[in-house]
A = this chain, B = another copy of it.
């Protein structure tokens, strides 16, 4: 398992997540925080749909982005901040299902840039999207 340089990383992340009003709008809850790995879950909501009644691709993308960002933050020094520099997502299957799990994992933690990958699972059995993301680490 990776080691965090911030003893309070889990608390820092949960507190920061609580301030993201957009995650509340999406009905997303953070369900696991470990060094280098963060899991966020959400369900199908009536205000999250695209034209055919599936969940809009942007919903899972937004939650994967938060999961990757917090995975990066979990390995950053205390007081650091994380900003998304860029990401790329492939959509593998339609977002059918009731419960969705976004898992962000650190591939390489650096001083200024941390690279993460994110997986989006439907009902714990079907991989519906895959993200590769670059996070900027801002040390105050």
Q: Which residues of A contact B (CB under 8 A)?
A: 16-17, 19-25, 46-52, 55-59, 61-63, 65-66, 81, 83-94, 107-108, 112-113, 115, 117, 127, 130, 132, 134, 136
Mind listing 20 A-B residue pairs with CB under 8 Å? Answer: A20-B49, A20-B51, A20-B56, A21-B47, A21-B48, A22-B50, A22-B56, A22-B58, A25-B25, A57-B65, A59-B62, A84-B91, A85-B90, A86-B89, A88-B88, A107-B127, A108-B127, A112-B136, A130-B132, A132-B132
Measured between beta carbons, the chain B residues less than 8 angstroms from A61 are 58, 61-62, 65
B115 in contact with A112 (CB, 8 Å): no
Dominant SS at the A interface? mixed
Measured between beta carbons, the chain B residues less than 8 angstroms from A115 are 86, 90, 92, 130
B62 in contact with A90 (CB, 8 Å): no
Measured between beta carbons, the chain B residues less than 8 angstroms from A65 are 56-58, 61
